[in-house]
């Protein structure tokens, strides 16, 4: 990387080299039987250069030919893409215990034994089909630039997912564990999964109306996706955000505080810098319902003439190779502050409503405007504080800047999900059909 940077520095005004690598081993079960075992690894290098106020980019899977990589980045300058920003200076980012060296002692054989143990706990307690997936691996990110920046981080990761599938569908009740190394799925989590599945076995026909809805932590992303769009500096710059002039105003319920928290002790993906090398920090988006900040990357901080917030990530909603993706404004470590109610008490407080466990078509609706129209997959029907069955082919719809003003309760604990660290949240008067 250092040699590549030196070559680039001789030909351009400034340069950045980004390197990422990872390896992963994944084990799939379907109805308690192993269906897939795969191992994969990937590595790549991305070069960004700035010359005469324009930016160029090239990337490769190896550094066999550094000169050509630099020439390709310089050639891309012909696109005349303006770069009004500068790469960050060197700093000493905060470090976190995100790498457990014991991850190297894991193997596919051990993974098989661990998941079989968890699956065997579920099997005698339900007739439902259990599907599960588990995986472990390591990843590394390093960034250097012509301003003497030199930062790197290492992650180890382990996850285990189980889902009891309802007959005649692929919808189910699930549990998820994410950590930096192997740990048992708590029996309490699996017992709750079995309990909810059993209560939802009966199919219920429910008339279209407005009712209370509880979003479980794993599917809150379907609402927060809209907030991420609205608070994104790119949306502010392009004048597509409905909240662009609402800093300091109450836009959600005062019960809601939403923070990007990359330094959280419970976050297995904690980090001290983003994918551009900018320092990260605790960043309040919503505090007691009040809009506090918009987030940006280097590009959009420059366009709006504001300070970079450390949210430039090579992240793609629909997947993709990180090394080839340009950094974009992204809330990567979103956290919702927990409330005062236990999950069971939240259900007991519902006179008539839906517990949403899974969704289909989370992208449906006008995302920039905050609209959603989402299939429930599955949803458990609650009446007088009791789950009495499962709604089939149901949908919920609304606008987050309306619905999220009507929070009735928030769970008193948070759960690590693939999209953030969240509690369950109950909303009143949500349109159901």
pLDDT of residue 392: 82
Q: Which two tokens stand for residue 105?
A: 């002692």
Specify whether 186 is located in the same domain as 215. no
Specify whether 258 is located in the same domain as 351. yes
Residue at 286 is within a domain: no
What is the SS3 assignment for the chain?
Answer: CHHHHHHHHCCCCEEEEEEEEEEEEEEEEECCEEEEEEEEEEEEEEEEEEECCEEEEEEECCCCCHHHHHHHHHHHHHHCCECCCCCCCCCCCCCCCCCCHHHHHCCHHHHHHHHHHHHHHHHHHCCCEEEEEEEEEEEEEEEEECCCCEEEEEEEEEEEEEEEECCCCCCEEEEEEEECCCCCCCHHHHHHHHHHHHHCCCEECCCCEEEEEEECHHHCHHHHHHHHHHCEHHHHHCCCCCCCCCCCCECCCCCCCEEECCCCCCCCCCCCECCCCCECCCEEEEECCEECCCECCHHHHHHHCCCCCCCEECCCCCCCCHHHCCCEECCCCEEECCCCECHHHHHHCCCEEEEECCEECCCCCCCCCCEEEEEECCEEEEECCEEEEEECCCEEEEEHHHHCCCEEEEECCCEEECCEEECCEEEEEEEEC
Specify whether 110 is located in the same domain as 28. yes
Report the percentage of the chain scoring pLDDT > 70: 99
- What's the pLDDT band for 276 if we cut at 50, 70, 90? very high
Specify whether 131 is located in the same domain as 20. yes
The CA distances from residue 159 to 25, 108, 175, in Å, are: 11, 13, 11
Specify whether 145 is located in the same domain as 36. yes
pLDDT of residue 365: 84
Mean pLDDT of 181-192: 96
Contacts of 105 (CB under 8 A, 6+ apart): none
Mean pLDDT of 170-186: 95
What is d(CA 374, CA 172) in angstroms, rounded to the nearest whole number? 17
For 21-77, what is each residue's pLDDT tens digit? 999 999 999 999 999 999 999 999 999 999 999 999 999 999 999 999 999 999 999
Specify whether 182 is located in the same domain as 267. no
For 188-232, what is each residue's pLDDT tens digit? 999 999 999 999 999 999 999 999 999 999 999 999 999 999 999
Task: Classify residue 336 as left (phi > 0), alpha (psi -120 to 50) or beta.
Answer: beta
Cα angle: 431, vertex 432, 433; to 5 degrees? 130
Q: What pTM value is reported for the model? A: 0.94
Specify whether 33 is located in the same domain as 127. yes
Residue at 306 is within a domain: no
Residue at 187 is within a domain: yes
pLDDT at 182 over 70: yes
For 145-163, what is each residue's pLDDT tens digit? 999 999 999 999 999 999 9
Residue at 298 is within a domain: no
Strands 352-356 and 359-360: unpaired
Final residue of a structural domain among 182, 199, 216? 199
For 109-119, what is each residue's pLDDT tens digit? 999 999 999 99
Mean pLDDT of 291-316: 95
Nearest to 100 by CA among 154, 23, 32: 154
- What's the pLDDT band for 165 if we cut at 50, 70, 90? very high
Mean pLDDT of 341-352: 96
- What's the pLDDT band for 265 if we cut at 50, 70, 90? confident
Nearest to 141 by CA among 129, 132, 151: 151
Contact 331, 315 (CB under 8 A): no
Biggest CA-to-CA distance, the chain: 72
Nearest to 15 by CA among 45, 75, 55: 55
Specify whether 189 is located in the same domain as 231. no
Residue at 287 is within a domain: no
CATH of residue 92's domain is 3.30.2290.10
Contact 88, 147 (CB under 8 A): yes
Residue at 278 is within a domain: no
Nearest to 202 by CA among 167, 174, 171: 167
Q: Which two tokens stand for residue 183?
A: 């740990």
Q: Which two tokens stand for residue 137?
A: 């691996």
Report the domain count for the chain.
Answer: 2
The parent domain of residue 338 ranges over: 203-272+331-432
pLDDT of residue 238: 97
Cβ density class 396-410: b for 16+ within 10 Å, e for less: bebbbbebbbbbbbb
Final residue of a structural domain among 155, 173, 199? 199
What is d(CA 261, CA 412) in angstroms, rounded to the nearest whole number? 18
Specify whether 215 is located in the same domain as 177. no
Specify whether 79 is located in the same domain as 126. yes
What is d(CA 330, CA 379) in angstroms, rounded to the nearest whole number? 29
Based on its alpha-carbon atoms, the radius of gyration of the chain, rounded to whole angstroms, reads 23
For 315-336, what is each residue's pLDDT tens digit? 866 667 888 889 999 998 999 9
The CA distances from residue 258 to 8, 97, 139, 174, 231, in Å, are: 41, 24, 28, 25, 12
The average confidence (pLDDT) of the chain is 95
Q: Residue 141, Cα to own-chain centre: how many angstroms?
A: 18
In this predicted model, which residue has the larger pLDDT, 365 or 403? 403
Specify whether 242 is located in the same domain as 258. yes
Report the percentage of the chain scoring pLDDT > 90: 92
Contacts of 219 (CB under 8 A, 6+ apart): 356, 357, 358, 359, 362
pLDDT of residue 95: 92
Residue at 319 is within a domain: no
Residue at 311 is within a domain: no
pLDDT of residue 169: 85
Specify whether 413 is located in the same domain as 355. yes
Final residue of a structural domain among 199, 229, 256? 199
């Amino acid at each position: 990387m250092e040699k590549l940077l030196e070559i680039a520095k001789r030909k351009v005004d400034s340069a950045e080299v980004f390197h990422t690598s990872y390896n992963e081993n994944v084990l799939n079960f379907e109805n308690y039987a192993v269906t897939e075992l795969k191992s994969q690894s990937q590595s790549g290098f991305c070069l960004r250069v700035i010359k005469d106020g324009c930016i160029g980019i090239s990337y490769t899977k190896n550094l066999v030919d550094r000169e050509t990589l630099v020439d390709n980045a310089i050639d891309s300058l012909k696109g005349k893409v303006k770069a009004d920003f500068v790469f960050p200076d060197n700093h000493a980012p905060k470090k976190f215990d995100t790498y457990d060296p014991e991850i190297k002692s894991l193997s596919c054989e051990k993974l098989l034994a661990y998941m079989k143990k968890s699956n065997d706990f579920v099997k005698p307690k339900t007739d439902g089909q259990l599907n599960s997936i588990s995986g472990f691996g390591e990843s590394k990110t390093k960034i250097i630039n012509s301003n003497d920046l030199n930062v790197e981080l290492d992650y180890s990761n382990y996850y285990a997912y189980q889902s009891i599938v309802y007959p005649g569908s692929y919808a189910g009740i699930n549990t998820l564990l994410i950590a930096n190394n192997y740990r048992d799925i708590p029996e309490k989590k699996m017992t709750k999964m079995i309990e909810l599945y059993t209560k939802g076995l009966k199919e219920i026909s429910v008339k279209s109306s407005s009712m209370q809805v509880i979003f479980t932590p794993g599917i809150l992303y379907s609402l927060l996706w809209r907030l991420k769009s609205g608070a994104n500096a790119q949306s502010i710059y392009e004048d597509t955000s409905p909240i662009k002039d609402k800093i300091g105003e109450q836009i959600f319920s005062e019960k809601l505080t939403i923070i990007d928290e990359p330094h959280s002790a419970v976050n297995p993906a904690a980090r001290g810098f983003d994918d551009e090398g900018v320092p990260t920090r605790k960043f309040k988006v919503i505090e007691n319902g009040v809009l506090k900040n918009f987030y940006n990357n280097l590009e959009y901080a420059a366009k709006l003439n504001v300070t970079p917030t450390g949210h430039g990530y090579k992240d793609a909603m629909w997947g993709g190779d990180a090394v080839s993706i340009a950094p974009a404004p992204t809330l990567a470590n979103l956290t919702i502050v927990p409330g005062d109610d236990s999950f069971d008490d939240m259900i007991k407080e519902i006179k008539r409503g839906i517990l949403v466990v899974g969704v289909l078509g989370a992208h449906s609706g006008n995302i920039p405007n905050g609209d959603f129209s989402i299939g429930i997959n599955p949803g458990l029907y609650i009446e007088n504080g009791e789950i009495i069955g499962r709604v089939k082919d149901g949908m919920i719809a609304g606008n987050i800047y309306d619905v999220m003003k009507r929070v009735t309760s928030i769970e008193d604990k948070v759960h690590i999900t693939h999209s953030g660290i969240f509690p369950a949240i109950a909303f009143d008067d949500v349109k159901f059909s």
